[in-house]
Structure 1
Amino acid sequence: MNVSSKIYVAGHKGLVGSALVKVLNKSGYTNVIGRSHQELDLTNQKDVIQFFESEKPEYVFLAAAKVGGIHANNTYPAEFIFSNLQIQNNIIDASYRYGIKKLCFLGSSCIYPKFAKQPMDEGQLLDGKLEPTNEPYAVAKIAGIVMCQSYNRQYGTNFISVMPTNLYGPGDNYHLENSHVLPALMRRFHEAKVNQLPEVVIWGTGKPLREFLYSEDMARACVFLMENYDVTGDPKGGEHVNVGSGIEVSIKELAETVKEVVGYNGKLIFDPTKPDGTPRKLLDVSKLHKMGWKHEVNLNEGVRLTYDDYSKSI
């Protein structure tokens, strides 16, 4: 990519997409475009083809997706698999048909088996059964990886796939039921502080270990890989790349960090009668580290930046 290349960020208003636009602009790229859902329905193939025909982007970041936490995945499984398959199928195929120079497809760490060995390296894809609660979403993302590899093998495209760990940052979804754990905790602690509640009850024991990455770090990694990682000519179509911090914290440590940043002074109560989920979930990011990229924002700083954004949005 050069600074004047026309770059399309699909999902430019979402958590990762908005971070990508910000990082691209900071990096000097001057021709970054996006379309809202109202302007372009990515599940409609005809609309996507018309967009590529008229705009003729040179590079594509495919960050658009239907996402959510356990509750949302359990409640709307059909929507999660259908919408995500439609979006990525339309954009990947149009990128090939309109001669896109390079595409970056964003997946999710839930593509790995529920009981994958820790930390999870790229080679463990399709090595076991998935976590049932988000299987439809995971299957869609796996299909996206395989689709990129298949187009690379058959058509000689340069479509790369990146698999991020748990992401958070400005513009996140703070819905109490449909959001992920960090933004949900942030909202609960904030509301407990405002309403002067004496305690906040958190599901599970607090012992499960999770990895978190600030959204702008994820965006920087994507831009780095678009600039430095090519899969053209790979007979297997190119392996996806894990993107994470390589650092894990317990849910209890996460809750305490968010509690401190929010300024909530009440008690934390962990309810061991509620499920903990997978005991540990950590990506092996050695492949990315060997390429020369590492995250910049630590958890405490990232939570503070995110809470500043949340405070302005309410």
Structure 2
Amino acid sequence: MKQPELFSQKPKPVLAHRCELGEGPVWDNHTGSLIWVDILGGTIHEFDVATGKHHHIKTQALVGAVALCTNGHLLAALDTRLEWIHRDSGKRKLLTALEHIPDGIRFNDGKCDPAGRFWIGTMPLSEDRPIGALYCLGPDGDCKEQLRGITISNGLAWNAAGTTMYYIDTPTRAVQAFDFHPETGALTNRRIAFGIPESEGFPDGMTIDSEDKLWIAHWGGWQVARWDPETGRKLGAFPLPAAQITSCSFGGPEGEDLYITSASKGLTLGELEKQPLAGSLFVVKNSGFRGRPANRFAFEPKFDTP
């Protein structure tokens, strides 16, 4: 297949549905479907690319993120609880809940590391105080705090070697890097990999491609951009017809389609008229870049017959 001219494609909406706060896209390479959430709508969405079927699960909670489990079901961060969700029936089972945390906290972005641990951050509903944290959930169900003093915990990514973790606390306008120890999940050597200029918007969700370059969704920046974490150089971007871009993930049969979530949260009627696709799920088909399969949580929940 002839590769497209890089960054020449125009992102297109996947389906006629708009989220208030779309987030957390993850591609399931076993089923050929894209899963994402509407945090404020309390909904987990799934779109089967081959059939066009759009399935959703209402959680009656603020759903910060979901992860695939090794048996194909879902691990969901709901309010301040972590629950298993049966993918077909929507049946739920509590795994653990955060304790001894400040009021007005919810889970936000989360992702599995290469060893199958689930990393999930929190943030204040007010979005203005550093009282959030970053947690790591192991296969034993033990959820341990790893970082504190976080305001809006967001994007997570690991390099191909599994030795570096990248992390975004959105108001800092920076991507942090850590030496990552795959055997234990320990973080050391915390540092700023690079900053995001104010003109680019705020860094939000993030993924990484097969060349270990970071793809960052820019809230207020109308774009998803590719960044070199070693040099801090912006390598290119896909402009979008919405300002509040929240996250991105590679998918498709060859991992070359870039899926992008967005939000309509807080937009005025005038802004919505100018951004009628705000809150949509977008895709850049055959983007010219390739991602890696999503890591799965290394624990298999047992459900009774739904």
TM-score of the two chains, using structure 2 as the length reference: 0.27
More strand by share: 2
Q: Which has the larger radius of gyration?
A: 1
TM-score of the two chains, using structure 1 as the length reference: 0.26
More helix by share: 1
